[in-house]
Amino acid sequence: MSVSDFLSSILSVIKTAEWVDIIDILLLSYIVYTLIKMVKETRAGQLMKGLIVFLAAYIIASWMDMKVLTYIMTETLDIGLLALVIMFQPELRRMLEKAGHSKLGLNLGLSRSTTESAAMWNNAIEAICDSCVELSATYTGALIVVERQTKLGEQIANGTIINAEPSKELFGNIFYPKTPLHDGAVIMRDGMIMAAACFLPKPQNEELVNKKLGSRHRAAIGMSENSDAIVIVVSEETGSISVAENGTLTSGFTRERLSKLLQNRLVEPADDSVFIKAAKNISSITKWKGRDK
Banded model confidence at residue 108, pLDDT cuts 50, 70, 90: very low
CA distances from 83 to 51, 86, 113, 115, 195 (A): 12, 5, 43, 47, 37
Residue range 237-253: mean pLDDT, rounded: 92
Say whether pLDDT at 280 is over 50: no
Residue range 176-182: mean pLDDT, rounded: 89
Which pLDDT score is estimated for 133?
A: 96
What percent of the chain lies above the pLDDT cut of 70? Answer: 72
Mean pLDDT over all residues of the chain? 78
Q: Distance between CA 164 and CA 127 in Å, rounded?
A: 12
187 - beta bridge partners? 145, 195
| DSSP codes joined into one string, 47-79 | HHHHHHHHHHHHHHHHHTT-HHHHHHHHHHHHH
Between 185 and 13, name the one with better pLDDT.
185
Banded model confidence at residue 39, pLDDT cuts 50, 70, 90: low
Which pLDDT score is estimated for 230?
A: 95
Say whether pLDDT at 281 is over 80: no
Domain with CATH 3.40.1700.10 in the chain: 114-266
Which pLDDT score is estimated for 167?
A: 93
Q: Distance between CA 192 and CA 30 in Å, rounded?
A: 40
Say whether pLDDT at 54 is over 70: yes
Maximum mean pLDDT: which of 7-16, 34-43, 223-232: 223-232
Instruction: Look at domain 114-266 and name its CATH class.
Output: alpha beta
Amino acid at 279: A
